[in-house]
Every structure is written in C-alpha cells, then in structure tokens.
Amino acid sequence: MKGMKCCQVDAIVSVDARGQIVLPKDVREKAGIKAGDKFVLASSESDGKVCCLFLVRADEFATSVKEMLGPVAQEILK
C-alpha cells in the first residue's frame, strides 16, 4: 500500500434486498477486480455507529499486517 493516494468517489452504489452491492464494471476494471477475488471488509465508527466501510484486497492486507507485526514479533522473540 506504499504510494497510496487519498480517497476519491468512484461510484455511488445501493444495497439490494439480499444485502448485496454491485461494483460498477468500470470500477472493477480500473481496480482489476475479478470474480473470486477476496477482500477484507473493515469499518470505522463515529459516535458508536458505523460510518465508513473499507474494502482492502486480502493479499494486500496480509502483507501489511506482516510488515507491521514482523518487527514486533522479532523483538518479542529475542
């Protein structure tokens, strides 16, 4: 996630009756999202209510966690 730019609005989406959200084709193409891709869904709260949802590619998330926790684990194992 190094060199990541700040957020921008790419689309406004709706939740259907089954709780599903469709990502517009142009957004999927721009992001290189294919069927079967895995994402971590994270949330942020304000005043006790969820205000923001974030999608992060699962492999990117795992890499970030390893980069953050790796040095900590090494320090603990000394």
The Cα–Cα gap between 68 and 49 comes to: 27
Chain segment 7-24, per-residue pLDDT in tens:
788 999 999 999 999 999
Tokens of 15: 């939740």
Averaged pLDDT, 22-29: 96
Residue ranges and CATH numbers for the domains of the chain are 1-78 (2.10.260.10)
Is 31's pLDDT higher than 70? yes
pLDDT bucket at 35, cuts 50 / 70 / 90 = very high
Exposure b/e, 11-47, CB count within 10 A at least 16 = b: eeeeeeeeeeeeeeeeeeeeeeeeeeeeeeeeeeeee
